[in-house]
Structure 1
Amino acid sequence: MARRAKVGLARRLVTPEGVALDLRLASGGARAGAFVLDALLMLGILIGVSLALVAFHVGFGAVLGNFLIVIWLLGFFLLRNFYFILGESSGRAATLGKRVMKLRVVARDGGRLTGGAIVARNLMREIEVFLPLTFLAYSSAQGIADQWTAALGLGWTALFLFFPLFNRDRLRAGDLIAGTWVIETGRRRIGADLMAKGADRRIDFAPSELEVYGQYELQRLEDVLRRGEAGAMAAVADAIRAKIGRYDEPGDQAFLDAYYRALRRHLERRLLFGRRKRDKFDAA
């Protein structure tokens, strides 16, 4: 189980492998901004699909009216659920709104973000927001909603929308169930200075020694090298040596500098041929 040190929105995770990672949680405003951007994008898609269905209905007559309504409702359900699931299942673990706000989803235990966690956190959004609002809109359209029904629906939605503001980790109910955090990523040129650092010492690695890790591990290794903490570097160096069976190179920092440069070049060459290795579990 990962250990966490809390200072404001800053968090330090110690992963099951013993690697300390410094993270910063997304603020409530950043998360709200990302959701608004995603909602606007989905609204645009929904309007486009609705106009297409109206045109289809006008062209082929009213006999397909009820069928088109069912198609619209089904499409709306799939859009509001699978938009988030597909976005967070990508290599960036973020929807378009989160990318604009420089956010991503990670597992709170420091491990790999699983598909089950992504599905769980996003299906909870259906209960938190979309179902009560859909029920309220349907009740109003049918003339069966009174002021108490409206207050209940809006109160339920507001409770979950503002829930992240009332806990220290800025968690949605979906995050609690799935065991996830939403963190800031920031934009920077990854590893440019690390590639130049220590380049005078050359250590060669075989392709088989570089195939064991992917982009996720490369980013974690970069974090460790940037912090420069001797204990963390020793733990990571020992883990890599044990993984690839390489004990002939003394010096943890020099070994990690060389392995970082070699792994990054290896992954970049793979990308040139359209082969992306997201992490050590990715066999692609």
Structure 2
Amino acid sequence: MNAASPSFAHATGRERTLVTPEGIAVPVTVASRGSRVGALVLDFTIIFLGLIAIQIFLYMVAGGLFDEAIQAADDSISGAAEFLFIVLVLIIFLARYAYFLVMELGPRGATFGKRIVGIRVAARAGGRLTPEAVIARNLLRDIELFMPFVFLSMAPSGDTGSAGIAGLLWFLIFMAFPFFNKDALRAGDVIAGTWVVEAPRTKLAKAISATGAAARGTSEVTGMRYEFGDDELSVYGERELQTLERMLRDADASALSAVHATICKKIGWDPGAGDERAFLEAFYSQLRAKLEGNMRFGKRKADKFS
């Protein structure tokens, strides 16, 4: 089976249909602009409070070195005090960049702020969110936010001439960017090929009716018994389970055939054609049982990439 090219189709409002490289149509909802702003404010608040907590801790541990560095001013300071300031600068750098990079590269594709408001970063092409995409979208934040703020902060001194006006215009242009496209993409999303969507539910949806092969693992058509091993069930996660469930509910023959071919290729099976639904019902039932069993032990598998 030739995989379909990744694409997405627009629908009304914020609903979209994403077509994965495997040819599976997945409905998604583009995150609202308000939720994105709220998530960013929460993230910056978390970073700010975290830095304050770290500085308080360092001051409690080595407060004398801070006092020494402040009193010395331009005079020479001890190597220990200089090292402490280097550590502090590194912490600030990591808080500014590593926080977003590490969390968005995680299995949830979201920072703490995004998790709180229920949104996540996703690749618009339907594939896995790559490190290159995450790095690109976050480096663009410097151009979108931090550089304009530098110009604006310099303006009150009067030494920069029209820098303040330039910084304000710069800031307004980038802030208005999400309002000029239907998917609320900021410049970083355009460059990185990403978008921000509402996060799927963390709780598994109510199971479909356990009938036929889904209940017994045996086909009513051919009598074949489908039993899948742990390695075969481990290739997919909760998101793929929910996608398979939607396919089974819709009962579209062509869609089921495409999903059947994709799963068989992925797990190395060749059961032949004509019994696709029984195969998929059995796979769905056993995959769901495995994921729910893992949840009881605190183990989650969000998708096939995690």
Q: Give TM-score scaled by structure 1 length.
A: 0.83
Matched, 1:242 2:265: yes
- Identity of paired residues, percent? 43
Q: CA–CA distance in 2 between the matches of 1:246 and 1:61?
A: 68
Query: Which AA in structure 2 matches 1:168?
Result: K
Q: CA–CA distance in 2 between the matches of 1:92 and 1:184?
A: 12
Post-superposition Cα deviations, 1:214-236, rounded to whole Å, max 9, x if no partner, equal 44433432443354433222210
Post-superposition Cα deviations, 1:174-218, rounded to whole Å, max 9, x if no partner, equal 111111111112546313323756643324222343233344433
Q: CA–CA distance in 1 between the matches of 2:63 and 2:85?
A: 13
Work out the number of aligned pairs and report it. 280
Q: What's the counterpart of residue 41 of structure 1?
A: 46
Q: CA–CA distance in 1 between the matches of 2:146 and 2:38?
A: 18
For the Cα contact (< 8 Å) 2:228–2:283, is it kept in 1?
A: yes
Higher-Rg member (1/2)? 2
| SS of equivalent residue, structure 2 residue 280 | helix
| SS of equivalent residue, structure 1 residue 181 | strand
Q: CA–CA distance in 1 between the matches of 2:159 and 2:252?
A: 61
Query: Which AA in structure 2 matches 1:6?
Result: H
Deviation of the 1:170 alpha carbon = 0.9
The answer for unaligned runs of 5 or more in structure 1 is none
Q: What's the counterpart of residue 15 of structure 2?
A: 10
Query: Which AA in structure 2 matches 1:148?
Result: S
| SS of equivalent residue, structure 1 residue 183 | strand
Q: CA–CA distance in 1 between the matches of 2:232 and 2:89?
A: 51
Deviation of the 1:168 alpha carbon = 1.4
Q: What's the counterpart of residue 108 of structure 1?
A: 124
Matched, 1:59 2:64: yes
| SS of equivalent residue, structure 1 residue 111 | coil
Q: CA–CA distance in 2 between the matches of 1:208 and 1:54?
A: 51
Deviation of the 1:99 alpha carbon = 1.0
Query: Which AA in structure 1 matches 2:41?
Result: V
Q: CA RMSD in A?
A: 3.0
> Which region of structure 1 is more displaced relative to structure 2, 156-165 or 261-270?
261-270
1:1-284 correspondence to structure 2 within 5 Å:
1-7=5-11, 8-52=13-57, 58-60=63-65, 62-65=67-70, 67=82, 71-134=87-150, 136-137=152-153, 139=154, 143=157, 145-146=159-160, 148-185=162-199, 187=201, 189-194=203-208, 196=210, 199-202=214-217, 203-243=226-266, 244-247=268-271, 250-269=274-293, 279-280=303-304
Q: CA–CA distance in 2 between the matches of 1:93 and 1:163?
A: 23
CA shift in 2, pair 1:58/1:208, >3 Å: closer
Post-superposition Cα deviations, 1:84-105, rounded to whole Å, max 9, x if no partner, equal 1111112111111111111111
For the Cα contact (< 8 Å) 2:178–2:184, is it kept in 1?
A: yes
| SS of equivalent residue, structure 1 residue 191 | coil
Q: Give TM-score scaled by structure 2 length.
A: 0.78
The answer for unaligned runs of 5 or more in structure 2 is 74-81, 218-225
